Amino acid sequence: MAPPGTDKILTHCGVVDANGKIMPAGRKAFVAQVIALLIGGNEDGKGLLLSKALSVPVPPIGGPQFPAISIVHPPVVMEPLFWFGPEPTALLSLPYLSDENGMWSKIFVDGLYATIASALNLNGSYVLPIFDPSIYVDFDFDINVDIPTLAAKIPTIITPDFIIKLNAKLGGSIPIPDLPAIPPTISMPEIPPMPKPPALGFDFGMKLAFPSFFIDFIASIPGLVIPKVPVSLPDIFLGPFNAMLDIFLNLLLKLGVALISPKLLTATMLVIIHNVAVMIACDMIGLILGCGAIVTSVSKFGGLSIGAT
């Protein structure tokens, strides 16, 4: 039997199951974030969950100016690629984005997002005396407490008396899990053929070389997962996010996407980058403290799942 706290981190958080399939709670959260971002826009970088929670622009730059067709402004307006304005027809896309058999779900949710989440679904681990007490006992954790204080806070809870009682409870042997290996590469699923986009007022960016784009983007993800004690609460999320944003922007420019204004594509990729940054934060915590209430709080803080237990 595996030691407590060593189950799959992202499965524990309700994102992806052990077979690499997006869980209902994770799918619902992903679609909700994309729709919310399209409805509200990301002006000044204030549309994503992390920007609201941390009071910082996410991403920190607006990106290059792109033409955007609008039904409430002149026929063509210029707006930053990442800091785009609200999409008036966003709600029209809800049935399409919620359709698990739709092309958007197949490509982005079950393809790109699930592939990255599955590769980042590492087993929790910890080394005594630093671990999440909720693995063994009830323990309340407030995500608003700055993450670095955990290094000082957890040992005060894991007292010698606690260790002795826990050791006795477990039959005289406290299991210590091995640190899981970070996957060096991520296998890419087959990309379904691209149909014409539905007439919903969105440019789906069909001119992009999707297979090449996905493979190049995914190949850069594993190197960002480094089990270390975070420097600050914002940095644990924003460090990986900004690194992936640079990769995304460079790939867009490389593929010559300047001829189109793919608002839905941009919103989808921003949510993916946002959520992968949260996944990496969960991995960092789960690899240090094990799977318990703390890593679950981090995942909920970043909006990785809705209705997960």
DSSP state of 57: -
Which tokens sit at 117?
A: 């989440």
pLDDT of residue 37: 93
Q: 261-274 burial, b for 16+ CB within 10 Å, e for fewer?
A: bbbbbbbbbbbbbb
Short-list 61, 66, 58, 44, CA closest to 253: 66
Which tokens sit at 163?
A: 């260790």
Say what the pTM is: 0.75
> Tens of pLDDT along the chain (309 residues)?
677 888 999 999 999 998 989 999 999 999 999 999 999 999 999 999 888 888 888 888 887 787 766 555 556 678 888 898 888 878 888 888 899 988 888 888 988 899 888 888 989 988 777 788 888 877 767 776 666 676 666 666 666 666 666 666 666 665 555 555 555 555 544 544 444 433 333 333 333 334 555 556 666 665 555 545 555 666 667 777 777 777 766 666 665 444 344 688 889 989 998 998 899 888 888 888 889 999 998 898 889 987 644
pLDDT of residue 204: 36
Question: Which residue's structure tokens are 């969950």?
Answer: 49
pLDDT of residue 263: 82
pLDDT of residue 198: 39
pLDDT of residue 209: 38
Domain positions in the chain: 9-301
DSSP string, 9-68: HHHHTTSB-TTSPBPHHHHHHHHHHHHHHHHH--GGG-SSHHHHHHTS-SSSS--SEEEE
With residue 80 as reference, give the H or E element that holds it. Answer: strand 76-80
